[in-house]
Chain A
Amino acid sequence: MAEIRIENVSKHFGKVIANQDINLTIADREFMVLLGPSGCGKTTLLRGIAGLDPVDSGSIWIGNRDVTYLPPRKRRIAMVFQSYAVFPHLTVFENIAFGLRMQRVAEEEIKKRVHAAAELLQITNLLQRYPAQVSGGQRQRVAVARALAVQAEVLLMDEPLSNLDALLRLEMRAELKRLLKEVQTTVVYVTHDQVEALSLGDRIAVMRDGKILQCDTPLKVYNDPATVFIGGFIGNPPVNFLSGKVIKDGSRRLIDIHGVIFEPSPAVQHSLFEGNHPEVKMGIRAENIQVSEQAIDHHLNGDVLVVEPLGSQNLLSVQVGNERMKINVHADIDINPGQRVWLSIPAEKIRWYEARSGELLPENS
């Protein structure tokens, strides 16, 4: 149970910069997800916290101890590896007991804690088996049990679900969430799967090119992505982005998107005025767009290219000008490819981004 503070941490491998001046504070008992595409530095940061790849500069604090120069064994962490890293020559029992034996815990206590951890992960019946004799999903449970048994201050998880098949992953995700709430430990969880990040994290740190772009609650990251990249990475389908030209109208700024004029909310007007950007992007989520088959004046319209029935809803691909949008509609609405549709976009759901940097225009007055 401890807070983790990462201060100005940088790390490079040869010429590749894996982490660039990262600052992040993870609260005690918080579930922090590091999310990003492969090569963004999320695993490097996790291994930096673990002490497996010492950082080049900056410092890492766990609780109130500076662990920057401590080896992994002195950091009071536990880690679950993507490959599970279960020891093949030891039984499941001995695997779970491994960390406790290293701490020279008394035999009685070891038995008690191994059984408690095994029970938590429902693998009590496998304790006498060898890893080769259990399934991949069970091996994963062994790895988690082994990490929990040592009751570390911090639990680090490196894509623990990515080697499971889809169904098992879904099941294990929910179970992990229950489990980790129960043990009340600080968790740092690395994944490239945005659904996993949204469903598990108390907060999500979205990373790219060795930097943290945004660190917020899942809802905030989903609704207010800080950059075009994040909007395009999180959510399925990702945020739609439409290019618009800024039109000056006195002190007011209007946006022209494919001939349709939008007036940004007063909260954004200030940044538009100050920034003096020639072009912006409108971000809007697929589920926030209403589709009409009747023509509506001064509304974006486009031709439906594809209709994908997804059960509860249909996913439309709509060609608007030279851009393509993804729109979710209710499954009952009967729309066919080739049809022209008009789009109502509620002003409060729109997020405006600067076109060149891709950054969200701040909403203040």
Chain B
Amino acid sequence: MSRNPLLIQHLLRFLTYIAAILVALWVLMPIYLIAVAAFSEMLAVYKFPRPFVPVNFTLDTLLFFLKSGGVMKSVQSSVVVALLTLLFSTLIGAPAGYAIARFVFRGRDAFRLVVVSTRAFPIVILSIPLAVMFIRWGMYDSIYSLALMHTALALPFTILITSSVFASVPRDLEEAAQTLGCSPLEAFIRISLPLALPGLAAATLFTFVLSWNEVFAAVILTVRNRTLPALVLTVLSESQLPYRFAGGFFMMVPSLIFMLFIRRYLFNLWGRVTK
């Protein structure tokens, strides 16, 4: 046997690709099958083996889902909650992110750690006391309360993502603007903000998706004003298969689209700069 280092290298690369493809398939297959079922006629979901292309491509299944009781209302609630979460977390998180990115202050690293560690408490543990508190304060079963809850969940990510976004805008630029007649605030508005905008947009999208997908707090904190995931979860066990597939697809799509947009910024967050 001749030991050809080039051959070994190729073999290794080949195996790496095989592994990567398997992992990708493992994630993508269910998503694909859900999508196929969502666009097939309703009875097709009972077929076995599973069809790999939509059977009689149709929007009937999706429309059936959307027209089911409470779905449209919960979609509306979901959108309102997600938008409010986006608004709150950006208003609170972006300034914090800016401060971490720009200023060296005592306890900065500790602050970063605290921000992340808020996520160390699982929502499962927090939700009961929160529900109790919300009931006491008369804030229970309100989509606004839920938006506050989602804001709390999203804030650590918003802060970290926006701080990485602002850190990528060189400080020199703001200083140059200041020497050219800007106050610090003007320098921020005229220089840093426009340059950070794409990244900030990504951060807000991330928040939106996080709220859109969040199910646990939504189930615990609301009864009549359910968001879409909460509604789907509660009626899932009693519903028909086409309903489940259509619902799954409907909830999945926004996340997939948004993730595609903000992938770059998530990588940045972990210190890897991709161009």
Contact = CB atoms under 8 A, between A and B. Distances in A.
A171 to B, nearest CB: 24
A141 interface: no
A146 interface: yes
A77 B178 CA distance: 10
A50 B179 contact: yes
A73 B184 CA distance: 10
Interface string A88-99: 110000000011
A103 interface: yes
Interface stretch (A78-86, A111-119, A337-345): A78-86
Interface in A280-319: none
B194 A98 contact: no
B175 A73 contact: no
A130 interface: no
Contacts, number: 54
21 contacts: A50-B179, A52-B175, A52-B179, A72-B175, A72-B178, A73-B180, A73-B183, A77-B179, A79-B179, A81-B172, A81-B176, A85-B170, A85-B172, A85-B175, A87-B173, A89-B195, A98-B177, A98-B180, A99-B180, A102-B180, A102-B181
Contact-residue bracket for chain A: 20 to 34
Contacts of A77: 179
B216 to A, nearest CB: 41
Interface residues of B, number: 17
B18 to A, nearest CB: 40
A58 interface: no
A102 B195 CA distance: 19
A77 B181 CA distance: 9
Interface string B178-194: 11111110100001001
A130 to B, nearest CB: 12
Nearest to A81: B172
A332 to B, nearest CB: 50
Interface string A202-239: 00000000000000000000000000000000000000
Nearest to A146: B180
Nearest to B194: A89
Given A73-B182, A99-B181, 14 more contacts: A52-B178, A72-B175, A72-B179, A77-B179, A81-B176, A85-B175, A85-B176, A89-B191, A98-B177, A98-B180, A99-B180, A102-B181, A102-B186, A156-B179
B172 A83 contact: yes
A103 B181 contact: yes
A98 B191 CA distance: 11
Nearest to A103: B181
- Which of A50, A73, A77, A146 has its CB near the most chain B CB atoms (within 10 A)? A73
A78 B172 contact: no
A158 B149 CA distance: 49
Contacts of B191: 87, 89
B170 A83 contact: yes
A52 B171 CA distance: 11
A39 interface: no
- Which of B181, B186, B194 has its CB near the most chain A CB atoms (within 10 A)? B181
A100 to B, nearest CB: 9
Contacts of A81: 172, 175-176
Contact of A150 (B175, B180, B184): B180
Contacts of B177: 87, 98
Nearest to B173: A85
Given A81-B175, A83-B170, A83-B172, A88 B195 contact: yes
